[in-house]
């Protein structure tokens, strides 16, 4: 017996017609799930990229300075030295204040990890031998 959808379109209640509708619905659902996944990934990427100007990625032996953005403008920072110290490392950073202004209450969060390139590992090992 034929039925009607909410939009007034006719459909058949036969097994073949129901299977086809189910297949069509599953395809549409897969497309929607893919779109939601893309949107979630895009949001995560946006959240990551928005703070890149506030992060300095420093590696031992690298030349030059990196810039770090903050409310007043930009500071430059350079990794001068890394030495083993107790159960960790002693890091010497050199900051450049291109604003030539007084900055009170400056805080930083440092994190480190193993380097993934042979050149960086060699530099890190050379720094440890000093």
Q: What is the pLDDT of residues 113-126, one digit of tens each?
A: 765 555 444 444 44
Domains of the chain, by residue range, sit at 3-49, 52-129
Question: Rounded CA gap, 55 and 70, in Å?
Answer: 10
CA distance 75 to 56: 10
**Whole-number average pLDDT of the chain:** 77
pLDDT at 122: 43
Q: Give the model's confidence band at 91: pLDDT under 50 very low, under 70 low, under 90 confident, else very high.
A: confident
In this structure, what token pair is assigned to residue 84? 């083993």
pLDDT tens readout for residues 6-40: 555 565 678 888 888 899 999 999 998 888 888 77
Share of the chain above pLDDT 90, in %: 7
Query: 77 and 65 in contact (C-beta within 8 Å)?
Result: yes
Output the CA torsion 121→125→128→130 (10° steps). Answer: -130
Kindly report the number of other CB atoms within 10 A of residue 27's CB atom: 10
């Amino acid at each position: 017996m034929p039925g009607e959808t909410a939009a007034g379109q006719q459909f058949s209640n036969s097994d073949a017609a129901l299977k086809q509708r189910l297949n069509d619905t599953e395809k549409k659902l897969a497309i929607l799930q893919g779109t939601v996944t893309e949107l979630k990934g895009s949001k995560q990427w946006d959240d990551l990229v928005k703070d890149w100007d506030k992060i300095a990625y420093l590696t031992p032996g690298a030349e030059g300075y990196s810039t770090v953005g903050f409310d007043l403008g930009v500071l430059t920072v350079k990794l001068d030295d890394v030495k083993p110290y107790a159960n960790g490392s002693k890091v010497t950073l050199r900051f450049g204040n291109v604003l030539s202004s007084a900055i009170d209450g400056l805080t930083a969060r440092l994190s480190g990890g193993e380097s993934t390139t042979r050149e960086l590992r060699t530099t890190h090992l050379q720094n440890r031998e000093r």
